[in-house]
Structure formats: structure tokens, C-alpha cells
Amino acid sequence: MTFEEMWADLLPLGRDAAGGYHRFAWTPPELECRAWFAGEARRRGLDVEHDANGNMIAWWLPEDGVRENAVLTGSHLDSVPGGGAFDGPLGVVSAFAAIDLLRERGARLRRPIGVAAFAEEEGARFGVACLGSRLLTGAIDPARARALTDADGRTFADVLHHAGLDPEAIGPDDDLLNRVGCFVELHVEQGRALAEPVGVAASIVPHGRWRFGFAGEGNHAGTTALADRRDPMLPFASMVLAAREAAERNGTVATVGKVRVDPGGVNAIAASVTGWLDARGPDDASVRRTVADVDAAVRAAARPHGVTVDLAEESYTEVVGFDLALRDRLARVVKGALGGAPVLPTGAGHDAGILSARMPTAMLFVRNPTGVSHAPAERAEIADCLAGVEALAAVLDDLAAG
């Protein structure tokens, strides 16, 4: 299976008519992606380890059977609603293709190589980004994770149970982590910052998600006088504008990309509204100030309308500076393989950011000519993808083979 053949097999899974992907953790399209992963692993004679947290790792072991000090690569297979084809899968497909290249070239392993597909990286179903890697590394309390619900009110525990996993067994897995020496994630670049085919990540900016709940009173849209309304949509509207203003003031970016209006009738004043804020910025303080500014603005807007506001932090990731020695090593190896290796920061979150708390971690980015991500226009040219495979193979060769 070449890169192009693997890509073609994955491409139809979970794609809508507009070309957007809907691969949410443990829904049918994502299960098809998992089956695809298992098939590609089997085809290469790689054993698939299913950890207790829903993550999968396909292992290529050295002939002497050594299982320690592994080099882990891979990414994720789930998507945001209407997401692009590359965010996640590119790292997984490239990892299998890089293994094929190493084998063709007769590489012999000194360290195991694992290809990971982390669960619920986007947090599109249960709200917490990188849920699988957070559980694995102990970055989220398992009890909190079990109680997370999806849009239909199903708990994470229930979904795990139906997937054949034991919800009581989730949580940090030192046995697995202690077998891994480092993690290198290849990912499509998600902005316009990369002018060459492949770059190396410097850092991930601090970022997080916050949920604002606005509680008012449902009532009739025609018979309720304006003075008698407790309409939660009004302070929600100010949230959207406040996010933009707070971002401009604090030098951050802030987005309200998801809202739930209950009960959602055209001819009814809403009883409650939930709005999600995504905020990211150059440092912790600016992100915290952005959220505090939005919070103050919506509370001020809610008061005159008799609406109450509550705020919950769904996830937060502090600045991630990737391991300097590993990053420099990647840059050197990629430069040797491709002739150039620009180093760039990113505003996107990744499992690599979570794993970096536990092991040396680095990332490779593949150029995105549209600069668009989390949307169908996300792209990477095939020549750049193949350069990414070449770069990843060189890195894996340097770290694990020879």
C-alpha cells in the first residue's frame, strides 16, 4: 500500500457532500478509521496495542524483541465537525509510509517504532481536546472524564463500555509511557506560516476552551412583552462581540464557534444558551485576561435581563516548548534529507503538546497551500506529503534505525 493508496482508502470515511469530515470518537465513521488502522498494521505485520484509554499503537519491534525506549510517532484519526482530510490522518498515514520506506531501504531497528492513533484529539464529541493523551498521561482526572457527555447526553463511560473498554480502567498508564523514549508527531500546517514543504515545530501557544451557560426563562415569542423577558440570547450575543474585542485588546485570538440554544424554537424565547469560547495567545496571562474580560462583559450584559451566567473551563494547555535537543536533531536530519527545515510556532493544539509533559517530544509540519484548517479547504499537495514521509523516515531512521 503506497501513501496514495492508503490516502484513497481513508478519504471517503465520514466525508459529507461539501467535502467536510465528521469523524467523532467511537461513531461509525471513526470506527471505520480504526478498522482501517488495524488493517494497515496487520498488512505490515505490526501488533496493535489497544490501551485502556481508547488509544491505539501499532508496533514495529526490533528483531531482538526489545520493547523499551521506543520512538513513538503517529497522530489522530478523529476530526472536528466539517473538518479537513489532513488534520490528524496525515500523521498516521505518513507514519505507515515512513515504515515502508525504512523497510525497503533495509533499515534494522535498534529501538521499537510505534504508530499511534490517539482518541478524541479534537474533543469534538466530549468537549475536552486530546482526551486520549490526557488520560494516558494523567492530565485529566479519570472520574471527570467518565462523566463527560456528548451532545446526546451519553457519558464517556457509557460510550467506552459499548466500545468494549472498561470505563473504570481509564487513566494514567505508566507501563506504556515508560516504554516510550520520545514522540514525534507529523501534522499538516494549519496556517500560512510554512513556505517550504516541511518544517519543525518550535512551540504551541497556550490555549483552552471555556463554556458559558446563560440561564433565562423560556416563554412565548409573541405574547411576552419585552419588559417581561429573561432572554439568555441577549447576553450570549454580547459574548460573541466581547470575545472579538477582548482578543484585540489582549493580543490573543478568541472564537465563539459553537452555541446551543435550548429548547431551540423559532417562536420561543430560549430558556438557556450555552456558548463555547476558544482562546489562545502568546502567554498564559493574555489568555487568562481574554477569558476574564469576556466573563465580565457577559455578566454585565446579563444582569439587566435577569439572566444568570456560569463559566466552566473545559480544557487548558499551557505553553508547550518542544524538547530543544530533539527539535534541533529533527531540524538537522530534515535539512539533510530535504535541504531545508524552517522552525515555526503553532496556534493549534496537538497530542504532542500533552505528551511533552512526560517525554521529549517534537513535531514536523507539512506545508498547507490554502492555510485553511478545521474546514474542507485544508490541503497539502501530494509532493509535500511525500516530502513529509521522506522527512519522517529520515527522523525515524536517525532515532531508531540505521
CB of 194 to ligand GLV, least distance (A): 16
**Nearest to ligand GLV of 122, 390 (CB atom):** 122
**Nearest to ligand GLV of 209, 327 (CB atom):** 209
Question: CA-CA distance, 308 to 266, in Å (whole number)?
Answer: 22
CB of 88 to ligand GLV, least distance (A): 8
Is residue 199 close enough to count as binding Mn ion by CB under 5 A? no
CB of 158 to ligand GLV, least distance (A): 25
Please count the residues of this chain forming the interface with Mn ion, following the rule CB under 5 A.
4
| Sequential DSSP letters for 318-377 | --EEPPHHHHHHHHHHHHHHHS---EEEESS--HHHHHTTTS-EEEEEE--TT---SSTT
**98 with 140: CB under 8 angstroms?**
no
**85 with 374: CB under 8 angstroms?**
no
88 binds, among ligand GLV, Mn ion, none (CB under 5 to 8 A by kind): Mn ion
The contact pattern for Mn ion, residues 342-361, with x = CB under 5 A and - = no contact, is -------xx-----------
**Nearest to ligand GLV of 100, 150 (CB atom):** 150
Strands, sheet with 253-262, edge to edge from the N-terminal-most edge strand: 253-262, 272-280, 207-215, 308-317
**Nearest to Mn ion of 97, 131 (CB atom):** 131
The residue ranges that bind ligand GLV (CB under 6 A) are 122, 129, 348-349
Question: CA-CA distance, 243 to 254, in Å (whole number)?
Answer: 6
Label residue 37 exposed, middle or buried (CB < 10 Å: 0-12, 13-18, 19+). buried
**Nearest to ligand GLV of 353, 360 (CB atom):** 353
Three-state SS at 92 = helix
Q: Which residues in 72-111 contact Mn ion (CB under 5 A)?
A: 87-88
Is residue 232 close enough to count as binding Mn ion by CB under 5 A? no
Instruction: Report H helices in 109-210.
Output: 131-137, 142-147, 156-162, 174-178
- Residues of this chain that bind Mn ion (CB under 5 A): 87-88, 349-350
